[in-house]
Structure 1
Amino acid sequence: MNKRIAKSLEEYGINVELASNESTDVFSLAEKQNAVVVSTSNVRQDSPQQNFVQNLLQSGKPVIVVAVRNPYDIAAFPEVDAYLATYSTHPKSLDAAVDIIVGELNPTGKLPVEIPGLYPFGLGLRG
């Protein structure tokens, strides 16, 4: 998880444990939590990031993915419980993602691109 996201979650009083793609025991980390938040950036098929998220999904805990670059990461794991694309690593973008996760903000917007096979251009949420 991105350190800024972790810091923002902690500011809401949420217990955070940081892990990376190299973490060998994601199940024991996830087991202790109510949900898992993971940040991704430009995920490729069969990449360590994709495998990490897939392993987290098998833990049985809700998985929230925050894509910090572009919206295409969802194609690598469309079955995640929740997915946000920030299009940015700017602190304000990451803080806004956390505000959405904890229910302080109601997300709105339209997808500016097509996610082939999953979501059409212009699909969106209204507040």
Structure 2
Amino acid sequence: MRARLHDDVCECPGEEQKRELREALRRGGYDAVLLGLFTTVSSYRIGSGTLQGEQIGFIRELMGIAPDMIVLLFGSPYVLRELDALRNGLCMYGGTNEAIDSSLRAVFGQYSPTGKLPVDVSETYRYGHGLRI
């Protein structure tokens, strides 16, 4: 599946990479823009399963530049609380290779996932929110 993806994959972009990403998105010419967000959930730990303010700000900025960007959430659906303007997203409850491969197969039309949120995440993303592709 990675062969179908662009080579510019970065786990934790620095300021220069963020600038380059903004410029590339503004130039356009992409068939699709995918953003994978990975969170780790630890019991009884404040902030577990969420993103930090700086990350959220950058993600919102990218969503403004590329509103049709596809966001793949791995680990916790509670990140959706900060992304109410999200147009295209897919949540997986883990970040395993199988979850990553399945999400990419879904994005590229090779797999038709089904599912509903089993929890209330926000006013926008309530228990039962979901779709069938």
Q: Under a length normalisation based on structure 1, what TM-score does the superposition of the two structures give?
A: 0.77
Residues 101, 126 of structure 1: alpha-carbon distance in 2 compared, 3 angstrom cutoff: closer
Partner of 1:111: 117
Alignment of 1:96-107 (within 5 A): 96-107=102-113
Aligned partners of 2:80 and 2:122 also within 8 Å: no
Give per-residue Cα distances to partners, 1:26-55, cap 9 Å, x unaligned: 2123235333211122333x6232122112
Structure possessing the higher radius of gyration over alpha carbons: 2
Query: What is the CA distance between 1:61 and its match in structure 2?
Result: 5.1
SS in 2 for 1:103: coil
Partner of 1:43: 50
Residues 117, 126 of structure 1: alpha-carbon distance in 2 compared, 3 angstrom cutoff: same
- Corresponding residue pairs, total: 117
Percent identity of paired positions between Structure 1 and Structure 2: 21
SS in 2 for 1:75: helix
In structure 1, runs of 5+ residues without a counterpart are 1-7
Aligned partners of 1:34 and 1:61 also within 8 Å: no
Query: What is the CA distance between 1:21 and its match in structure 2?
Result: 4.2
Partner of 1:72: 78
Matched, 1:28 2:35: no
Residues 50, 21 of structure 1: alpha-carbon distance in 2 compared, 3 angstrom cutoff: farther
What do you get for the CA RMSD once the two structures are aligned? Answer: 2.1
Partner of 1:90: 96
SS in 1 for 2:127: coil
